[in-house]
Amino acid sequence: MAAAILDVDALRARFPALASGVAFLDAPGGTQCPQSVIDAIGSYLRESNANLGGAFAASRRSDELVERAHGTAAGFLGCRPEETIFGQNMTTLNFALTRALARTLEAGDEILVTQLDHDGNVAPWLELAHDLDLRVDFVEIHEDTTLDLDDLERKLTERTRVVAFPLASNAVGTTPDAARVVALAHEAGALAWADAVHFAPHGPIDVAALGVDVLLCSPYKFFGPHLGLAFGREVLLRAWRPYKVRPAADEPVGTRFETGTLAHELFAGFVAAVEYIGEVGWDAIRTHERALGQRFLDGLPGRCTLYGLETMEGRVPTFVFRVAGLTPREVAERFAEQGIAVWAGDYYAVEAMERLGLQPDGAVRAGFVHYNTLDEVDRLLEALAAL
């Protein structure tokens, strides 16, 4: 069967920001939006901008949009609409959900997180540990940034209540063996709590196949607006007492965790973003991204030190590196002058940066998504060589 081919030029024409000439290699921090997403947000604000539950037409259209957004989220994540939850962002949602879970925890209970995690899936647990006298421990990573599954197995105990982990590292791009992590967690009687923020633009998510109990992601990382999205197994959501105002509805069960009036216009943008991904197709996206990543790996100059896997196996096309003689910030600033957008710092991947000895300055991070081109990869490599 032939590999899916991506018409990158035609696709890029759908993204207004890409016409600027800037090489946006900053996707790990947030992706650009296609025109359809921008139009959907504007259309809502022009035609349907109202709060929910009213008798008038604009409010009824908003009700319909919210229902559609939950249905779209269910299709994107592989769950039921009532198991989907929207919020301001992943971190805010995670603080809310972990606080609700905390009402079931006791002093001495244990939480495992990993050295690959973004702090959005670490700090909520550390704060609960502070408040409730819980114990948080870190599953270590190997030198090549793969997750040490033996260490995970050793650290699981009868008091472990949650294993929190990423589907892909936002720093080094590594994709842990999610199936094994979930299996080990469940064997110990713990919940599997997945951060899919960084994985979501690179491949399909199916929470049923993964077997996770909670999963969180961010639409602004997969060509949509600034939102947070979560899945929670219905039996869990019904067992937790949410933090909410009294008049807020209890059904669908996931909406119990959606506090206040959300940004309905962004729901419209989210639906358009998922529709866009469906039009492009995951097979084409993954084939093209693999080519981009391999081009980068093959051409990385010797003066650069790559941290993480040196192959496209077991990773997404996100790369961190240092350039001898320059700080990460200096590299990023020089690239910015040339119209190349990359990141410098630790990207809230505190533990990974500490483990790799990259603090306090962190590293340079370049990340590719399907709207990037081989020419842009070459442009980055040439700029690195010129340094």
67 and 213 belong to one structural domain? yes
The tally of domains found in the chain comes to 2
108 and 199 belong to one structural domain? yes
Domain boundary among 219, 250, 277: 277
CATH number of domain containing 270: 3.40.640.10
C-alpha triplet 133, 194, 328: angle, nearest 5°: 90
47 and 117 belong to one structural domain? yes
318 and 257 belong to one structural domain? no
Name the band, by pLDDT with cuts 50, 70 and 90, for residue 5: confident
Which amino acid type is present at position 84? T
Q: Is residue 328 part of a domain?
A: yes
Domain boundary among 251, 277, 303: 277
260 and 381 belong to one structural domain? no
Q: Is residue 81 part of a domain?
A: yes
Q: Is residue 3 part of a domain?
A: no
131 and 217 belong to one structural domain? yes
Q: Is 131 helix (H, G, I), strand (E, B) or coil?
A: helix
pLDDT tens-digit series, residues 256-308: 999 999 999 999 999 999 999 999 999 999 999 999 999 999 999 999 999 99
pLDDT tens-digit series, residues 80-129: 999 999 999 999 999 999 999 999 999 999 999 999 999 999 999 999 99
309 and 340 belong to one structural domain? yes
CA dihedral 263, 265, 271, 273 (to 10 degrees): -100
261 and 321 belong to one structural domain? no
The string over 80-114, giving b where at least 16 C-beta atoms fall within 10 Å of a residue's C-beta and e elsewhere, is: bbbbbbbbbbbbebbbbbbbbbbeebeeebbbbbb
What is the residue range of 100's domain?
39-277
Contacts for 382 with CB less than 8 Å, ≥ 6 apart: none
272 and 308 belong to one structural domain? no
Closest CA to 342 of 327, 328, 352: 328
273 and 307 belong to one structural domain? no
Q: Is residue 218 part of a domain?
A: yes
Q: What is the pLDDT of residue 1?
A: 40
Sign of CA dihedral 202, 206, 211, 217: positive
Domain boundary among 277, 301, 318: 277
128 and 261 belong to one structural domain? yes
Q: What is the pLDDT of residue 206?
A: 98
CATH number of domain containing 307: 3.90.1150.10
46 and 115 belong to one structural domain? yes
Q: Is residue 247 part of a domain?
A: yes
Express as a percent the part of the chain with pLDDT over 70.
99
Q: Evaluate if residue 3 carries a pLDDT over 60.
A: no
Q: What is the pLDDT of residue 36?
A: 98
